[in-house]
Structure 1
Amino acid sequence: MRTFNWVVWFVCTIIFIFLGALLLVFSAHLKGWINIEFFFMYLKNQPDLWLISGFTGILMVIITFSVSKIMLGRFQRERTIAFNNPEGTVTISLSAIEDLIKKVARQISEVKDLRCDVKANKKGSIQITARLTLWSEANIPEVTENIQGLIKNKVQDMLGLEEVVTCSVHISKIVHREDFKKKKTDSKHEINEESFHGAIEYGVQERKKAK
């Protein structure tokens, strides 16, 4: 299967290089830099040109479908974890694990927000990358160690896996809780003021209509 993938990739590369070169030559012909009318006349006089063109078109369609199928299958394998039970195969979506990790992060008060990316490699290990937004009062070494252990243990316990689970943490933002509350309060005041002004204008229009 791997040899077939390499062959398909090689053929696709050759075809796209050929099409790109052909378009460059055709654009140069339209610009007047070169003249390839003799080439078109030569192709026109070839009796088997329709057969070659049809075969090439069919080959390109088959290759395109093959590449799409390979890429789709690879993407699906990368986004799921599979293991065998006595009753059959079980697959788990990596997005479900990401949702679980987000819920786990809510248990830590110093974490304001968490975004994560889960990957499973061919060896069976799971790699988790967590991007955190922390409150300013958080002790970064303590919080990161706590969340790494919590995520790792929760994922291993839920999946029942003995494979290696690694968790990398990246702190993308540190937010002051007071500033966040102030912005939230200011936005509420702005909404209330807009609603109040709207009510006044509506009342004025109603009185004008009544007059």
Structure 2
Amino acid sequence: MVLFDRILLAVYSLFFTVVFILFSAVMLGWPVPLFLLKDIFYPGRPEIFWPLMVILILVGGRLFWSSLHKPRGRHVVLTESALGEIKVSLHAIEDLVEKVAAQINGVREVTSQLFAVPQGVGIRIKASVTPDVNVPAVSVEVQNLVKERVFEVTGLSVSNIRVTIESISAKKPRVE
């Protein structure tokens, strides 16, 4: 869901939440919201009622379509030949980065995200480490190993790797 649809959903949800709270207040016997609801939703005032209904129907339709629409996967074209293109999904590269970083001693719970930079591709890595490691040394090791392995597997040169250590945790991951 794109940012526009998320904002639309938030406004749409907030509108209906307020309307239902007002209806509930009227049903509980509080007469004040009744005058507000009567002015807005009274069909005898078409200059307010019909534009509001059209907007609500259009927004509802857009959100419904957005919920059913399957977003296209983001891919990177690795090579092109006479036979066609060779692509790899960004999700596959992120999985590779997470597996490589998790193999480093002392690194736990790794997440990654690719982003575009003027020189090519950048990677954000968030990880947890154990307290017995040197954080700067492990971060540099993660950067070097990820850069080498991504180039080895995909042929993409990574120009920027940002490592963020989210926590220093002595807990070991659960094995299921």
TM-score range, shorter chain: 0.5 to 0.7
Native 8 Å contact 2:100 2:146 kept in 1: no
- Which AA in structure 2 matches 1:59? L
Higher relative contact order (CA 8 A, sep 6+): 2
Of 115, 123, 126, 1:127 maps to 123
Distance 2:125 2:86 in 1: 27
Query: RMSD over aligned Cα, in angstroms?
Result: 4.3
Report which of the two has the higher share of helix: 1
Report which of the two has the higher share of strand: 2
Which residue pairs with 2:99 in the alignment?
Answer: 102
The Cα shift of 1:90 comes to: 0.9
Distance 1:125 1:163 in 2: 5
- Which AA in structure 2 matches 1:172? I
The Cα shift of 1:163 comes to: 4.5
Of 63, 88, 100, 2:85 maps to 88
The 3 A distance-change label for structure 1 pair 122 and 133 is closer
Larger radius of gyration: 1
The alignment status of 1:62 with 2:70, answered yes or no, reads no
The Cα shift of 1:23 comes to: 1.3
- SS for the counterpart of 1:148 is helix
The share of aligned pairs that are identical, in percent, is 15
Unaligned runs of 5+ in 2: none
Of 150, 153, 160, 1:165 maps to 160
The alignment status of 1:150 with 2:145, answered yes or no, reads yes
The Cα shift of 1:26 comes to: 0.8
- SS for the counterpart of 2:130 is strand
Question: What is the TM-score with the length of structure 1 in the denominator?
Answer: 0.52
Question: What is the TM-score with the length of structure 2 in the denominator?
Answer: 0.60
1:10-89 alignment runs, 5 A limit: 12=9, 15-34=12-31, 36=34, 39=38, 59-68=58-67, 73=71, 77=73, 80-83=74-77, 85-86=79-80, 87-88=84-85
Native 8 Å contact 2:114 2:121 kept in 1: yes
- Count of aligned positions: 158
The 3 A distance-change label for structure 1 pair 151 and 52 is closer
Unaligned runs of 5+ in 1: 181-211
